[in-house]
Structure 1
Amino acid sequence: MKLLRVTRPLSDMPAHPARNMRLVATGMLLLMAALFLAARASVHLHPAIGFVQAFAEAAMVGGLADWFAVTALFRHPMGLPIPHTAIIPRNKDRIGDTLALFLRDNFLTPAVVARRMRGLDVAAATGRFLASPSGGDGRLREGASRLAAEILETLDQERLGGMVKGAIGQRLRAVNLAPLIGQALEAAMRDGRHAPVMDGIIRWADRTLEGNEHLIRQMVHERAGKIMRWTGLDENLASAILNGLRKLLADMADDPGHGLRLKAEEGMAKLAADLQFDIGMQAKVARVRDEILDNPAMQRWIDGMWEQARAGMLRAVRDPGKAMAGRLGEALKQLGETLQSEERLRRPINRFVRRAAVGATASYGDSIVKLVSETVRGWDAGTVTSRLENAVGRDLQYIRINGTLVGGLVGLAIHAIDSLF
């Protein structure tokens, strides 16, 4: 069995840019420390060196302060359990609950979804895609095709096939065939469409009589008396019977108003009525239906039908361009053009999609919120820390760099004011 290929989340990828910026920020802090020591040792040589010392000293303070602030978000600085540090790991559960509430209050409420869906023309977008499925780079269509193919190949075929075949059998057993057959027969007789069927039955009877003539002659010969056989009257009697049956069938075929034919039509009309209204007749038809469905031959036919359908679906999703080039593709293209041009058709479709989205939000919004909250609660503190730190990435280190530079400039300004006044 093939397994679906799972791509690692972005947050689990190596964060090389963030690590590089961390080295830059730490390097700047060490550079300011070295510059401060050098300036402090040589400040007596020239008054201007005092400005360098003030800049480096304030830059160290600013860089250290921002390093402490950034580190305190995710862990204890230098491993020391300082109060109000390791804020994110310590408040992991509260963050998950807050995120879930934010999603619920701002995205997963029926009013918000309805307002957002009101501005979307889903039917027109679907029509554009169906009318020109190969537009753009086709990545959406190809990705959806690959996903559908992998899902079909990954699912347990025995279980899936059993579910499909079981559903087909249940649907067929739930259909009350007798009234449907009775209504179809009644409509056919009302419109005169039963006449070809009656003619076909008569022709079949004529061919059957001709093919079994020797059996009829043998039957008459065996049942005739010795005198009739001795005189050859049994042959004459058999010929008379056969000729009479042939003439009867010919008269029925030529005369739509033939008495026996009318009797047959009366029987068909009574059968149509019984199929529709007679409980006993409907029960008989239901028993015949169930016997047919339980027949191994019917089960093999359903199995073959499912395998053909599955193979057809796999061919379609593996080669969507080829599938869209046939009659199905032409029909879908026409449907897409109709969706784009007919606003009266788009309106009920968009209304249905909007109501479905709102209904799904109302029914499953709380479940989605609960899923988010429980998922975050299930993460360990290290996972939450690494994912959030990698997601923010380089910006955290820019805070440290900016703190170093801004601190140095503030220290430089303070030293300048102190020197002037």
Structure 2
Amino acid sequence: MTYRQRANLILGLSFVCFIAIFFWWYTHDVSVWEELLFFVIQSALIGSIADWFAVTALFEKPLGFPYHTELLYRHRDRIIDGIARLISEKLLQPDMWKDKLYQISFMDKAVDWLRGPQGREKLRTGLYEVAQRAHQHIQRGETQTAIAGHLRMYLKRQPLVSFLEDRLVSLLEDPTSPMFQDLINLVRRVVNSEDFDKLLERLIIQWREESQHSSMSSITLTKVLGIVDTQRIAKDIKLGIVNWLDQWEHAEGEQREWLCRKVEILLYSMNGQLSFGVQNWQNEFVDALPIEQWLTDIEHSTKDYFMTGEQGREELKDLLEEQFIHYLEYCRSYPEIKEWLDEQIRRAFNVILEHEHSLIAVAVRDVLSGFDKNRFNQFLESKVGEDLAWIRINGAIVGASIGLCVFGVLKIYQFTLVPFLRGLFL
């Protein structure tokens, strides 16, 4: 039961009790306690009616009384201006909201709201409307061509080499990252493979053939005479690489830092050559992607959802909601991603509140000005309705208390002062 319902109940009970005891008053002989009860009930009824009239006059015309009623709606322009001024000058000041922004996790708030019935339904409706509009646009051939062109341009512009280099170096420098150990293990697996043995032998044979026409030396002479054992040389090189990897696998402190610096210098020194080669491969790979076919397949696969009526609509909503919530939960599961998203939202709020907070007040004024009488009264009553109901309840309590006091004064006057005055003057 709300406080407004309680206030109405008190008013109704006071009226019923007053009628009942009023009838008893004029049809029976009453005692002092019955007189007291009648006095208290009628005082509570008077207080309830007075405060009911006062509270109701704020919003409506009680009993059709036209004078000084509907006070809030009559002065709604002043109220709206005051609310807008309060928002613009007081509530949206930087020193008040900046600290509060960092006390809120917008990702958690968003997920909690979306899991509620109201937020969930709005999410499902919004996702379906976006999917419907996207499906309508993607059916056009020129739209698919434009989307494919923008996707290819975007994919070609991604700096893969710089991204991979920076990521690799940062992981190597992180002492808690297993990247260094994983890199050593990867190189060891490559070195221990048969393909690596064949590669070494092929490189040694190629080097021997290229050196046959160089100046005569002891090494060149042995190559010409065919004394060099390529398999043994390849085996020795492989053994040296494995020993070197074993040494660096257990490297710590300064040795590991030195190796990381060498790898970093090597990577950045090869940046130009790698960028050129990777960019050419990236362009060829992106051009070879059947993006237009993918878009056509997506359009055909989603057509059934829009052609099967309410069932298809609900199935598509379920699918989109599941994927969207799954993505949000994925972002929440990684603190760095969650913090990054929260920080971006905070920055957006900072920009809006610093430069456009006056527009928020204007928007509030426009929204409230568009309310009719009922909606405006409902808006205000939702903010102070319980307090106003308590005023009515307190009116009944105060009226009953005053009635009790007045009854006591009257009885004291009747049984004490009246006989005294009569004896004094008569």
User: TM-score, structure 1 length as denominator?
Assistant: 0.50
